[in-house]
Structures are given as structure tokens and as C-alpha cells.
Amino acid sequence: MTLSRRQTLAALAGSVLLPALSRTAGAQTAAFRIGALNPITGAGAPYGSGMQKMIVAAAAMVNDAGGAGGRTLEVSSEDTQTQPQAAVLAAKKLIEVNKVQAILGTWASGVSLAVAPLTNDAGILLMNTSGAPALSVPPANAKGLLYRFQATNDRFGRAFAEVATKQGFKRPATMAFNNASGIGNTEGFRKAWEAKGGKVVENVVYEPNQPSYRAELQKVLAAKPDVIVMGSYLADTTIILREWFQTGETTKFIIPAWAANPDLVKALGPEVTEGLISVDSISNEGSDAFKAFDAAYQKAMGQPGLSNVYAAMTWDMVVVLALAMEAAGPNADVAAISAKLREVAGPGGKAVSTFAEGKAALKTGKIDYQGASSILDFDQYGDVTPDFSVSVVEKGKIERKYIVKL
């Protein structure tokens, strides 16, 4: 290996500057470090960049408002690649090298479940946007340090049951991808549907990466359902719907929006997808907090805030965290901050929509942050209940029809 003079100079300059940089970082003892751990690449890539930019933007907003609890926020960013292995490595780096005290914005249940043991061991917060019911309870949430800003799969299932009732379906069947999220959806649906006195005519759980799902479909269709409720992802939904269409049956489908999205319509064409019902959790649209988020999102991404529900969640994560820090007072540790999280977001205080507003109101009494992603009332498990939108595919377009509140 030969080094040019320029490379040598650059290397020398680097080695001189690095300690200087870390000195300045060390000098800011009044900083609270947070890790933005988002799906920049992989299946979550359409959302990840926006999520990360909103964490950075919200942190800057908090710092501009004078910081929280006497401290400023310092963000370190990493990519999960939407893969548990990569996410674990990145989380390790954030915890051990960057010394973060909270990790924000993990997406996909497999990723959040993989990162949770690390944050629990380190005694730091993990705020996620995943759906798996397992994230509500121990071992994942053994220390109560997990906060979820997305609807649980169980709540998705309840929303599905509301939709099925509203559409007048009588004989639902379910098909679930064999993982915590897929089964969470259909089990949530089954419980809610049976609580309404209904009966689910068939439940099938299928394995990923099959060359064909015809046997599974045949079993479901044999029960003569009028609607099939899915707990599925994009690839398997594509294959199943293609094979379903080729059987000539005319069953309806209720599908979570992360599977029934424009990519699905593009892959299958308007004829196959006509009439599919797509259910998604939605932001707290129309709220003042959403307006603030929307403005920041437009500025950072050049797109409307409506296009990324997960970015609204990561925005809220920073705001809620900062409000809890403010409420907990100077130099509060993670446990003290966590103890304040429900208080600043839950009901029973002055409704506020921004960090600055909340910081001012905290001086006189309790507050209730009404978030951009939902009204953000954490239950005992650290879960929230957003609203759901119901859309129907018509002539190759996904048209929103109505909103379901649980």
C-alpha cells in the first residue's frame, strides 16, 4: 500500500482533530443523548429516512426552546436495515460508544424485540413503532422502559372486527403469517369478533417463503367465508391474492395497510385488487401537534406529513421524552424520566400541542400532550390507541372511506 502525500496529510489532520471533537462532546455534560435507530434500508426504507429526520428536527426544536430539564438533546443516528441482526449491532454501538439514554424509532416487531433486551440491560428507554403484542409484557417489557407509539396488532385486530361489522360480513376467516405480528392481528380480530357474538369459520397460520399457498387457501375457502382477514406482509399477500384470483372465488379481504399498499396494487393490477379493504392506523390528523409536525416534515422531506405515519410517531417520541425530562427536573435519571412519561401525555392536565407550550404550562401544573401521531395516552403496558383509517381499492387506487375509533 502506498500513501500519497495528500492522504498522509488527511490522516494526520484527522488524528489531530478527532480528540478535539470528542473533547467538545465531553464538554457538554448537560446533554441528554438519544439514539435514532430507524429502518433507513430494507423493508422499512420508505419510512426510515423521514422518521430519522423528524427525530433530529424535533430535537433541534427542543434545543431551540431552551432544552428540557436544563439539558439539551444530542442525537446519534443509526440504520437498522430492517433486520434484527443489524439492529442489534447498531443498538450496541449507540449504547456503548455513544452512551445514549434512550433509543427511538425502531420499526418492525422483530427488530424491536431484538433490541429490547439490550436497552433493558442498559436501563434505558426504547420507544418503538412496532405492533407485536409481546412488546407489551415481560420479558421484552420487563422493566417498563418500552413505549409503543404504534397500535398493537391486537388493536389492529379489533379495528378489523369493527370494519367487518360495519361492512356487514357474517362469516369471516383468517390467514396469518407465522410470526408475532401476523398472528397478533388475526388473534386480536378473533377475540374482538367472538366478543361481539360472532364466529370465525376458519383460522390458518402459514409459513413464510413458500413457492405456493394454494393448500392454505383451499383450506380457508372450503369453509365458505365471505371475508378473509389477513395478518400478512407484502410478498406473501401478493402470492396469496394471485392464487386466490386464479381459483375464481370472489371472497372479500381485509388487509393491514403495510401489506395492502400501492406496491400490492402495482404488482397485481386493478382487476385482482378491486374491492380489497386496507386498514391503517393514522396520525392525529387535524390536531395542532400534527400541524407542527407536518410543517417540519414538509421542510425536511418535501412531502406532506400524511405520507409517513411513522415519522409523526418519532416526532412525538422526542416531544414526549423532552416534556417528561422537563417534568422530572434537572439531572433526572432514566427511571425518573420514565415515571413522568405517562403523566405528561396522559389525560388530566392542560392540553398542549408543542414542546414550548408544554414547557411553559408545566410551570403552573399538569399537562396532557396531544400528539401528532395520536392523543398518546399510554396504558399500563406503554401502549397507545391511535385511530384507524379504512380504505378500499377502486380501479387501482386506494381510496380512504372512513375512520374507526376504538
Query: Least distance from C-beta 104 to another protein, angstroms?
Result: 23
3-class SS at 36?
A: strand
Work out the angle between the directed axes of helices 309-328 and 288-301 (0-180°, nearest 10): 120
Tell me the C-alpha distance between 311 and 283, whole Å.
10
Judged by beta carbon, residue 87 or residue 367, the one nearer another protein is: 87
Query: Least distance from C-beta 242 to another protein, angstroms?
Result: 6
Residues whose CB is less than 8 angstroms from the CB of residue 305 and which lie 6 or more positions away in sequence, other chains included: 283, 290, 293, 294, 296, 297, 298, 311, 312, 372
Say how many C-beta atoms besides its own lie within 10 A of residue 113's C-beta: 22
Judged by beta carbon, residue 45 or residue 60, the one nearer another protein is: 45
Query: Least distance from C-beta 393 to another protein, angstroms?
Result: 15
Neighbour-count burial for 316-330, b at 16+ CB within 10 Å, e otherwise: bbbbbbbbbbbbbee
Judged by beta carbon, residue 102 or residue 175, the one nearer another protein is: 175
Judged by beta carbon, residue 93 or residue 214, the one nearer another protein is: 214
- The cell 400532550 sits on which residue? 369
Q: Are strands 146-148 and 125-128 parallel, antiparallel or unpaired?
A: parallel
Query: Least distance from C-beta 249 to another protein, angstroms?
Result: 10
Judged by beta carbon, residue 243 or residue 394, the one nearer another protein is: 243
Which grid cell sits at 309? 405515519
Judged by beta carbon, residue 202 or residue 285, the one nearer another protein is: 202
For 144-184, the DSSP string reads S-EEE-SPPHHHHHHHHHHHHHHTT--SEEEEEESSHHHHH
Query: Least distance from C-beta 286 to another protein, angstroms?
Result: 32
| Residues that bind another protein in the complex, under the rule CB under 8 A | 41-43, 45, 82, 178, 204-212, 214-216, 218-219, 222, 234-235, 238-239, 242, 245-248, 263, 267-269, 271-272
Query: Least distance from C-beta 310 to another protein, angstroms?
Result: 17
Judged by beta carbon, residue 218 or residue 303, the one nearer another protein is: 218
Query: Least distance from C-beta 192 to another protein, angstroms?
Result: 23
